[in-house]
Amino acid sequence: MASHAQILPTFSAPPLALLATEPLRGMLDHVAGLFLDVDGLPRGDGRPVIVYPGLGATAHATARLRSTLDRLGWSTHDWGLGLNRGPRGDFDAWIDGLAERVDRIADEAGRAPSLVGWSLGGVFAREIARRRRGAVDRVITLGSPVRGGPESTRAGPLYRVLSGTPARLDAAMRARLERALPVPHVSIWSRTDGVVAWRSCRVDCRHGVDVEVPGVSHMGLVAHPKALREVARVMALPVERLAADGSAARRTDAARARAPARADRSSR
């Protein structure tokens, strides 16, 4: 009897050489961010933006990203929990607590905020968006594993140290985390990411759009001018445009997938 179990993708973690050079490349990327010229970048309309740091990071690590968005006219908020040690206690209860802060900020601003998450912070942002469909404008992830399991990252040892538990996901939780979002989602990633496998950052969801920033480190995704420009551009796009871009991307991917099959048939 044929099995109907869902086959989930797996991705190898980045090469150790990329991981080893992350500190130096990350430092250089942050230095490059000091020279970002915001002239010519689209301006914001005051919409609130909540920024979620990666594993082992605090608000300090995302300061360049938040200050850039503030300068452009957005109203940024840190996630408010200090060091990201991973989810504490029950995962669903943890996400519910984060979602309550989104509710408060939305109520104060009188409009839905955008969520920007770096690495593990992007996983949190995606889950919050599932719970608060009407209270989240869009989700932008930076080097976040949206597909694949813990084996697609080099963060396992750090996660164990900070959270006190090993990084594990059963098949049911993986399938849940990979489901389509009810709001537009843009994933920004780099092939030279030394922490998270870039293939695991590729979006495969209903309103998903991929944006590659070549040559940027994992740590640089919150500071390098290439990444900051893309975040600014995506933030300024109307939400309807993001949804349309996601549909166009899916049609393009589908056409590419069909092309080899047609070529194979024509060669017979």
pLDDT in tens, 5-24: 455 667 899 999 999 999 99
- Do the beta carbons of residue 107 and residue 161 sit within 8 Å? no
Question: In Å, how far are 116, 229, 251 from 232, measured between CA atoms?
Answer: 11, 5, 25
Span 74-105, pLDDT tens digits: 999 999 999 999 998 889 999 999 999 999 99
Cβ partners under 8 Å of residue 210, min gap 6? 186, 187, 189, 202, 203, 249
Chain-centroid distance of CA 122 in Å reads 4
pTM for the whole structure? 0.87
CA nearest to 221, candidates 4, 61, 50: 61
CA dihedral 162, 163, 165, 171 (to 10 degrees): -120
Q: How far apart are CA 167 and CA 164, in angstroms?
A: 10
What is residue 213's three-state secondary structure? coil
| pLDDT(246) > 80 | no
Tell me the mean pLDDT in the region 217-224: 98
Query: How long a stretch of residues is the chain?
Result: 268
Give the separation between CA 158 and CA 160, rounded to whole angstroms: 5
Q: How many CB atoms lie within 10 A of CB 163?
A: 15
Domain ranges of the chain: 16-253
- Average pLDDT of the residues of the chain: 87
State the CATH architecture for 16-253: 3-Layer(aba) Sandwich (3.40)
- pLDDT of 2 reads 43
Cβ atoms within 10 Å of 221's Cβ, excluding its own = 32
Structure confidence at residue 204 as a pLDDT band (50, 70, 90):
low
Give the pLDDT score at 205: 52
Average pLDDT for residues 194-218, to the nearest whole number?
88
